[in-house]
Amino acid sequence: MKRALSGAAAATALLAVSAVPASAAAPVGAYTIKGAWSYVSAPKLHPPKLHTDRPTASAQLSPGYLFVSNFKNLLYSKPLTGEGGPLILDSRLQPVWFDPIGTNTFANNLRVQTYQGKPALSWWEGIITNTGATTSGSLYVVDQHYRPIGKPLSGADGWIITQHEALIQGHDAWVTAVKNEPMDLSAYGGSPTGTLLNSAVQEYDLHTGALLYTWDAAPDGIQPGHIPLSDSYTKPAPNPAMPWDAYHINAIQLVRGGFITTMRNTWSAYDVDLKSGATVWTLGGKHSKFALSAGAQFEWEHDVEMHSGGIVTVFDDNCCAILGPGQLGPPNGSARALVIKLNNGNHTASLVSQYSRGIDVGFQGNAQLQPNGDMVVGWGSQPLISEFSKSGKLLLDAVFPSPDLSYRAYVAKWVGTPFFPPTGAARNHNGRSTVYASWDGATQVVAWRVLAGAGARQLRVVAGRSKTGFETSIALSTRYKTFKVQALDAKGHVIGTSKAFAVPRPNAKQNPPGFY
């Protein structure tokens, strides 16, 4: 455990290896709108269209929205389907909020947080190259109105904030971070002038960006509680310029007096004491404090979380060693979401339940246990999101268009009230106007009302319609010149009004009716 590290153990390389192996491909961030949503009233938004191959038991799903962040699977050469970015979906897989990010940038780990007692959203954005290397990363936080809370949070003292985990407590953020450090790796089959990719849990002040706390995994001969490099199931690369990702931290859960974390490449979860930095217990891997029963073992895991009653949930990738750019080792079995019971008396860990789709997941993924006992699973490197009932019934299978992925998927309640107004657009066809209305991120809209007339000062209510999705089209009985749209809540109150708009001139570029 270290407080506000200085420049010690400076990095010798700029790249931090990610668990997203890649090969030569289309530029990161390149996308096509074929297979994506397009909207007349929001022409700059092109979120991916998710679909389901089986009936969705929507009435049985956990209450709330689905939170994902789509990005391109770097194992594929074709461009992303739709833009990448944090995305909220309803139970019909209709977009609710989408914030497209710039090209050459990845977004990951969109989730609901609590910031100073109020709901907020956070997600990670960063640069991951076509060779699978993370060169930068920042945490973004917005309030219920989608206003930024502070500046994007970036790492300090040479640490790079990674996509894996971010938790907000009070006005601080706890994140996973990595840093390249020079090290003699000859004892582990590497170069005496090698580079270790160290892993850390860090705490930052969201207001100032100041680094408040660091616990890093690598032993340095002084600090207790670090993870031995010999615990890793990976080996240094023959090329000494390639950093050795011996740990690959990918989860944090704050618990009383410490935190739970997990390292993909040691196949272990750890309970760490916050003050001393010592490991209280290890679950899995080469030095597990608990004897794992048949079926409870996990490998290359992500997203370990403790629950009441000694219950632990784990996303067990069961695959794979990353051998190099575009190269994965063989899977050891199908990926699973596990529920494990820890017995601190006899130090055993027994399998309670497991949820699987019988697929191989090479990297990433998460398992979110719902209050009602359901399990929401993001399948990482597979373009799939599932929800299972406690008894194992498959309630939802949502599929991304190829080559889109989402590292994690969460279901949570959310009320979004955008600080910006709704948007509208109109098109004329066969002597009639059709109006299109949308409000990115607004969750309380149940209906739309159209105001139309010969000018902005001559508008009157001419039509209305229940909300049908992200965008609602309202066909009018005649043609008008100027329009506004009003968003109505469940009580019929106006909660938002667009700016006045008109039908574009014939030579203006526009999306034709039906394009959406």
Instruction: List the domain boundaries for the chain.
Output: 16-52+60-228+238-412, 423-502
β-bridge partners, 148: 142
- For 468, the token pair is 């049908």
Tens digit of each residue's pLDDT (9 = 90 or more) over 253-270: 999 999 999 999 999 999
> Cβ neighbours of residue 117 under 8 Å, at least 6 residues apart?
none
> Cβ neighbours of residue 346 under 8 Å, at least 6 residues apart?
none
Tens digit of each residue's pLDDT (9 = 90 or more) over 370-414: 999 999 999 999 999 999 999 999 999 999 999 999 999 999 999
- Select from 2.120.10.80, 3.30.800.10, 1.10.3720.10, 3.40.309.10 the CATH code of 16-52+60-228+238-412: 2.120.10.80
Predicted pLDDT of residue 510:
53
- For 253, the token pair is 């859960």
pLDDT at position 208 over 60: yes
- For 380, the token pair is 């990482």
Kindly report the average pLDDT of the chain as a whole number: 91
Q: What is the mean pLDDT of residues 273-293?
A: 96
List the one residue out of 81, 132, 104 whose CA is nearest residue 29. 104
Identify the residue with better confidence: 371 or 128. 371
Q: Residue 60: pLDDT band by 50, 70, 90 thresholds?
A: confident
Q: Phi and psi dihedrals of 466, rounded to 5?
A: -65, 145
SS3 track for 6-44: CCCCCCCCCCEECCCCCCCCCCCCCEECCCECCCCCCCC
Predicted pLDDT of residue 8:
30
Coil, helix or strand at residue 60: helix
Predicted pLDDT of residue 131:
57
Predicted pLDDT of residue 135:
84
Tens digit of each residue's pLDDT (9 = 90 or more) over 98-123: 999 977 789 999 999 999 999 999 99
Q: What is the mean pLDDT of residues 476-482?
A: 97
pLDDT at position 32 over 90: yes
Task: Report pTM.
Answer: 0.92
Whole-number Å distance between alpha carbons of 451 and 457: 11
Predicted pLDDT of residue 55:
66
Question: Comparing 16-30, 130-144, 494-508, which segment has the lowest mean pLDDT?
Answer: 16-30
Q: Residue 17: pLDDT band by 50, 70, 90 thresholds?
A: very low
List the one residue out of 64, 16, 37 whose CA is nearest residue 415. 64
The residue assigned the tokens 């389907």 is 81
Q: Do domains 16-52+60-228+238-412 and 423-502 have the same CATH topology?
A: no
List the one residue out of 162, 161, 140, 138 whose CA is nearest residue 149. 140
Q: What is the mean pLDDT of residues 427-441?
A: 97
pLDDT at position 21 over 60: no
pLDDT at position 24 over 90: no
Identify the residue with better confidence: 43 or 131. 43
Predicted pLDDT of residue 240:
86
pLDDT at position 221 over 70: no
What is the total residue count of the chain? Answer: 516
CATH number of 423-502: 2.60.40.10
Whole-number Å distance between alpha carbons of 228 and 215: 14
The residue assigned the tokens 């895991």 is 301
Nearest-5° angle of CA 243, CA 137, CA 307?
A: 90
Predicted pLDDT of residue 128:
80
Predicted pLDDT of residue 321:
87
pLDDT at position 492 over 50: yes
Q: What is the mean pLDDT of residues 133-161?
A: 95
The rounded percent of the chain whose pLDDT value lies above 90 is 82
Tens digit of each residue's pLDDT (9 = 90 or more) over 324-356: 777 788 999 999 999 999 999 999 999 999 999
